[in-house]
Structures are given as structure tokens and as C-alpha cells.
Amino acid sequence: MEYKSFFEENKSIFHVQSNIYFSQCNANKDLSLHELLKITSDIAVEDYRQRGMSREILKDRGFGILVSRCSYRIHQWPKENQFIEVETWEEKPQALQLMRGYKILDENKNVLVSGKSSWLLVDINERRILPTKKFALRTPPEFCIELDCDKPDKILQPEKRELWDTRTIKFSDLDANGHTNNSRYAAFVEDAIPEEFRARKPKDFKINFAKEAMLNDKVEIFGFKEENKITFLGKTPESVSFEAIISY
């Protein structure tokens, strides 16, 4: 089968066709959470690259764009050997966050996953967050598409939580920015899921990123479980690294 990538005529929505491969699936033969983050992050980067805003061009202009928050609703889990078509588009930016939407469709255009994410524009030389109006390499969109998923907003942490796991950041966790790739935090979450929840299929997944974890950092993963929801908190000795919620 031939897989294509293309923009719609108005250039606002970018499409990538692909397959769900064996290595992308968990023990339940569903697409894993960390692979879901990889797919959506990669298509966002590729959308910019094909519009003339590659990571190299952004770096030359002193910009970095870092994912901040992600929220997904899984209507039907993508499965091994399934054809998918992933759509992404930029939405009207907020003052300090670039906004983006996603859909993952099957071969019959049924929506498997809906998602939204927010991204921070940073000055890579001064290591500070910039207002999104400073990003003048393209005309910012003025539209938002309503999706059947939660907003990528704050995650409320319960007062009570338990230490469920401890991870040491290894070389293979790092990406080209020199810190832990965002998808790895989802893998940390998956590994901390209590055994009685592992066979259940998540309906919603939210993850927010705070302070990046670096090589050899120890990340403690705390959790709190309810009947149909698990809340996670990842901390290094210095600060909060990430927060996440899985709802069933």
C-alpha cells in the first residue's frame, strides 16, 4: 500500500497516512500511549517542516517550540496492522501558547482519536518563554475546530498520592534537544499503571510537561487511583517534571 502525506487545498490541514506497526503496540495489541505521543508530535514537526519552518530554520532564528500540554480522547483504539490517516492543524494561538488539533482516522474516515495540544515558543539563547505574537514566520490561523476531547488544561492533583515507581533517565530517553523526549514520559506513566488497570482501555489521556528531566536525573512517579481514573505526578529532586491523567 502506498502511504501519502499532503495538505488540503487551503494548506490549513496536514495529512499523513501510515500503518500501525507491531512495535508501536502494547501487550493488548493496541497503539501504546507513548507511540500516540510520538505520532502526534512528529506530524506537528513535519507540518512545520513542509511549510518551511524546520527545526534547523527555527534554531537559526533563535526559536524553539516545545510541547506543553496534550489531551486525547480515544474513541476506538488503533490496532496492529491498521491503516491510519493522521490530520493536524494549527489553531488560533493564545498569548503564550501555540495551539494545535489532531484526528486519527481509519481507512473509512471513522475518527479513532481526537486530540488537542499546546506548545510554548521559547528563545533558545536566553531560555525564556516568548509571546506567540513574536512568531512571525507564518500568518497565525484565526480558527479553532471543535473536537470531542478535553482541553489541554491544568491537571488537578489529589492531596493523597503514593510513590509507585522511580526511573533514572538514560541516554536512550534523550532526544536531539538533549533532554527527555516527551513520549518517554507517557512510557513512564504506562509502566506505573497498577496491575488491575492494565487490561482496561483508556478513554482519555492527558499529560502536561513542566521541567524537563535530564540525563541521570531520578524521576519519582506518584499516583492516585479512583474507580475510573488514575492521576500521576512525576518529580525530580528539583521540581515537578510532568503530570498525567488516564480516564477509563
Share of the chain above pLDDT 90, in %: 98
Q: What is the pLDDT of residue 53?
A: 98
Do residues 97 and 184 both lie within one domain?
no
Q: Residues 145-151: what's their mean pLDDT?
A: 98
Looking at the structure, tell me whether residues 117 and 65 fall in a common domain: yes
| 103 and 187 co-located in one domain | no
Mean of pLDDT values over 141-168: 97
If one compares 177 and 48, the residue with the highest pLDDT of the two is: 48
Under the banding of pLDDT at 50, 70 and 90, the label for residue 207 is very high
| Calpha distance 59→66 (Å, rounded) | 12
3-state helix, strand, coil in the chain (%, to 5): 20, 40, 45
pLDDT at 50: 96
Relative orientation angle of helices 33-50 and 182-192, to the nearest 10 degrees: 170
Q: Examine the domain organization and report whether 61 and 166 are in the same domain.
A: no
Q: What is the C-alpha to C-alpha distance for residues 245 and 233, in angstroms, rounded to an integer?
A: 9
Structural domain total, the chain: 2
1 — pLDDT class (breaks 50, 70, 90):
confident
Q: What is the pLDDT of residue 208?
A: 99
Q: Are residues 27 and 111 in the same domain?
A: yes
Domain boundary, last residue among 119, 134, 149: 134
- Is residue 139 assigned to a domain? no
Q: Tell me which residue range forms the domain holding 240.
A: 162-247
In a domain, 187, yes or no: yes
pLDDT at 11 over 90: no
pLDDT, position 151: 98
Name the one residue in this structure whose C-alpha cell is 503564550: 96
